[in-house]
Amino acid sequence: MRRGLRAALVLGLSALAASCRQDMHDQPKYKAFRRADFFGDERSARPLVEDTVARGQLRADATYYTGKQGTMPVDVLPVAVTPALLQRGQQRFGIYCTPCHGATGRGNGMVVQRGYRPPPSFHIDRLRNEKAGYFFDVISSGFGAMPDYAAQIAVPDRWAIVAYVRALQLSENARLEDVPADRRAELAATASSVAPPAAAPSAVPSAVPSALPVPAPVHR
């Protein structure tokens, strides 16, 4: 009896082992960057479908993300200029821009003082007359010796920096006409209160005092 039971058990286990398959182990698949005979280009990794956009990365507002309308830089910032935006721009400018451009944007930053190629001053006529989108594009794509900062500076911060650059340019080149008419009297009063003092009398006398002896002429 035991011998028969033992034989039946062995027979059952043998049938079970024979029925096991290795489909999960030997499943048809491609490992990354392996060659594939199935596709005409022999690449196992397939290219993305045209116009595919990852979730959360749809950039419907092209002007905001490129600083351009078509191929032309925009002249007006596509964001509201607020004190908070300027403060953020000043902070980001101090981190990423001052090493080359300097704190006032004159192109005399610390690395320039150590021999790096100097950038042009933001206060020259060419850059004062440039459009806002131009500065955004330079930050995004780089220009000349300046590398791009697309990876380091997020799009909102790029616009904040552009706004602060405009503030720097205005601060160095402001005119009375730029001040609202109802504030010009206040500005004039402030300017007069901080006017430099009158020049002190010259330390060099304009004539020789009479108390000092005048040497007699020498006859030769």
Query: Does residue 87 lie in a domain region?
Result: yes
Query: Does residue 125 lie in a domain region?
Result: yes
Asked if residue 98 lies in contact with residue 105, where contact means CB atoms within 8 angstroms, the answer is no
Q: What is the pLDDT of residue 1?
A: 55
Domain of 137: which CATH number? Answer: 1.10.760.10
Query: Does residue 94 lie in a domain region?
Result: yes
User: Which residue matches tokens 């956009």?
Assistant: 53
Task: Tally Cβ neighbours within 10 Å of residue 101.
Answer: 23
Joined together, the tokens standing for residue 7 give: 């034989």
pTM of the predicted structure, to 2 decimals: 0.64
Query: Does residue 37 lie in a domain region?
Result: no
- Distance CA(68)–CA(47), nearest Å, equals 29
Q: What is the pLDDT of residue 219?
A: 44
SS3 call for 43: strand
Q: Which domain holds residue 168?
A: 80-175
Q: Which residues of the chain have pLDDT under 70?
A: 1-5, 7-24, 194-220
Question: Nearest-CA neighbor of 130 among 81, 169, 160?
Answer: 169
List % helix, strand, coil for the chain (3-state, nearest 5): 45, 5, 55
Query: Does residue 11 lie in a domain region?
Result: no
Give the mean pLDDT of the chain.
83
Q: Which residues pair with 43 in a beta bridge?
A: 35
- Distance CA(110)–CA(97), nearest Å, equals 11
Q: What is the pLDDT of residue 23?
A: 65
Task: Tally Cβ neighbours within 10 Å of residue 197.
Answer: 5
Query: Does residue 119 lie in a domain region?
Result: yes
Chain segment 147-202, per-residue pLDDT in tens: 999 999 999 999 999 999 999 999 888 887 888 888 888 877 777 776 565 554 44
- Distance CA(83)–CA(91), nearest Å, equals 12
Q: What is the 3-state secondary structure (H, E, C) of 130-188?
A: CCHHHHHHHHHHCECCECCCCCCCCHHHHHHHHHHHHHHHHHHHCCHHHCCHHHHHHHH
Dihedral of the alpha carbons of 149, 120, 174, 67, in degrees to the nearest 10: -30
Q: What is the pLDDT of residue 148?
A: 96
Query: Does residue 70 lie in a domain region?
Result: no
End-to-end CA distance of the chain: 159
Number of domains in the chain: 1
Query: Does residue 148 lie in a domain region?
Result: yes
